[in-house]
A = this chain, B = another copy of it.
Amino acid sequence: MTEEPQNNMEEPVVEGQQQEVVADDRLLRLAADFDNYKKRAAREREEYVVLANERLLKELLPVLDDLERALNAAEDHEEAQLEEGVRLVHRSLASLLARNGVEEIATDGKFDPHVHEALLAQPAEDREQGDVLDVIQKGYKLGDRVVRPARVIVAE
Contacts and interface: CB of A to CB of B under 8 A. Distances in A.
A89 interface: yes
A127 interface: no
A122 interface: no
Contacts of A2: 10-11
Interface string A62-92: 0111011011001000010011011101100
A30 interface: yes
A27 interface: yes
Given A45-B45, A57-B100, A70-B86, 19 more contacts: A4-B8, A8-B8, A11-B12, A12-B12, A15-B15, A30-B31, A37-B38, A49-B49, A50-B142, A53-B100, A54-B145, A56-B56, A63-B93, A64-B90, A64-B93, A68-B90, A68-B138, A71-B86, A85-B86
22 contacts: A1-B8, A8-B8, A11-B12, A12-B15, A16-B16, A19-B19, A19-B23, A20-B23, A22-B23, A34-B37, A45-B48, A50-B143, A53-B142, A60-B97, A61-B140, A64-B90, A65-B137, A67-B86, A71-B90, A74-B87, A82-B83, A82-B86
Would you list the 9 A-B pairs with minimal beta carbon distance, nearest first? A23-B23, A12-B12, A41-B41, A49-B52, A12-B15, A74-B83, A67-B90, A52-B52, A34-B34
